[in-house]
Amino acid sequence: RGHTSSRRSRICLSKKHLVTGTSGGLGKALAEAVLEAGECVVATARRVSVLDDLKARYPSSQLLVVALDVSVNEQIDRAFEAMVSHFGRVDVVVNNAGYAVFGEVEGIEEEAARKEFDVQFWGPVYISKLTAKTVREVNKKGQGAIIFNVSSAGGYNANPGLAFYASSKFALEGFTEAFSKEMLPEWNIKCCILEPGGFETEWKNSFVGFPQHPAYVGNPANFRNLRSGITMLGDPAKGAKAIVKLSHEPKLPMRMPLGSDSLAIVKTKAELVMKSAETFSGISRMSDKDGMDGVAYGDMIVKKLRETSNN
């Protein structure tokens, strides 16, 4: 795809993005979508050579490539230092880096599960904190920033075989929701959880798989065949453009399902949770103190929680 010389020499005056996990899939598509929109991006990956094609097509005034393992805080520090030095501020941060450990819970080594949390939970936590610090200390007052934490439809509805992947995403969603509510209004820091459905990317090839645990041999509900023969609905390029569009919206949702499959999963899970809550509400209310109006108390607590949140 060609670019005119005037575009190559143009100084990037628009949004400055930092995207992790841009070696392929949605992350690389997002970096390219940002560049196509004429905006700036710090594209990070453990193997930066996979971004040579983008470096050949876009000027350094628009694109900065940085080697980054998000499980190493010192590397995160250096990435932010490079961004501030190169682009002067941070506008959008996308915590996209991740992979999946696959297998039965009983068959997965604990070390592998902990490593997944380092990448998909503790890495984004550190990056989110550093983003807030950078906004306060580097950006112009009130300029703010957006933090997109990439979860998954599987971060809202857990699937067998991906227990630790789902757990790390559940944790990330809970963190993002609480962190967002802690942000002072004058900082203008917005957080949004992205919940992609299935995308036709290299992600499925990055699974760290473990052999089937002997106790589960012959399991009639064989989740190991879940994706066999299924064509993924999501187009990475279109998903990336949706995220770029979202970054320009004046208001952001707390959760943003990406794709009709994710929408269906989220909606079905929410309906099932509500139905179950209503079905067992009688047992739930058995723990209320005598003489107290549980319904009124619940309404009061919900109102109190809203009053003590910044978002």
Residue 83 lies in a domain: yes
Q: What backbone phi and psi angles, to 5 degrees, belong to 145?
A: -170, 165
pLDDT at 77: 99
Nearest to 162 by CA among 152, 177, 174: 152
Residue 299 lies in a domain: no
Enclosing domain of residue 118: 5-283
Query: How many Å from the N-terminal Cα to the C-terminal Cα in the chain?
Result: 41
pLDDT digits (tens, 9 = 90+) for 273-311: 999 999 999 999 999 999 999 999 999 999 989 887 776
pLDDT at 224: 75
Residue 302 lies in a domain: no
Return the exposure string of 19-57: e unless at least 16 CB atoms fall within 10 Å of the residue's CB, then b.
bbbbbbbbbbbbbbbbbebebbbbbbbbebeebeebeee
Residue 63 lies in a domain: yes
Identify the DSSP state of 195.
E
Query: Can you tell me the distance from the alpha carbon of 150 to that of 119, in angstroms, rounded to the nearest whole number?
Result: 12
DSSP string, 1-18: ----HHHHH----S-EEE
Residue 88 lies in a domain: yes
Residue 307 lies in a domain: no
pLDDT at 310: 72
Q: Which two tokens stand for residue 208?
A: 């760290």
pLDDT at 10: 45
Other Cβ atoms within 10 Å of 116 Cβ, number: 22
- We report the CATH number of the domain holding residue 31 as 3.40.50.720
Residue 98 lies in a domain: yes
Q: How many domains are there within the chain?
A: 1
Other Cβ atoms within 10 Å of 115 Cβ, number: 16
Query: Can you tell me the distance from the alpha carbon of 213 to that of 233, in angstroms, rounded to the nearest whole number?
Result: 31
Residue 154 lies in a domain: yes
pLDDT tens sequence for the chain (311 residues):
444 333 443 456 699 999 999 999 999 999 999 999 999 999 999 999 999 999 999 999 999 999 999 999 999 999 999 999 999 999 999 999 999 999 999 999 999 999 999 999 999 999 999 999 999 999 999 999 999 999 999 999 999 999 999 999 999 999 999 999 999 999 999 999 999 999 886 666 677 889 999 999 888 767 777 666 678 899 999 999 999 999 999 999 999 999 999 999 999 999 999 999 999 999 999 999 999 999 999 999 999 898 877 76
pLDDT at 1: 40
Nearest to 190 by CA among 240, 124, 245, 143: 143
pLDDT digits (tens, 9 = 90+) for 189-215: 999 999 999 988 666 667 788 999 999
Q: Is 283 exposed, middle or buried (0-12, 13-18, 19+ CB in 10 A)?
A: exposed
Prediction pTM value: 0.91
- Give the residue numbers marked as catalytic: 151, 165, 169
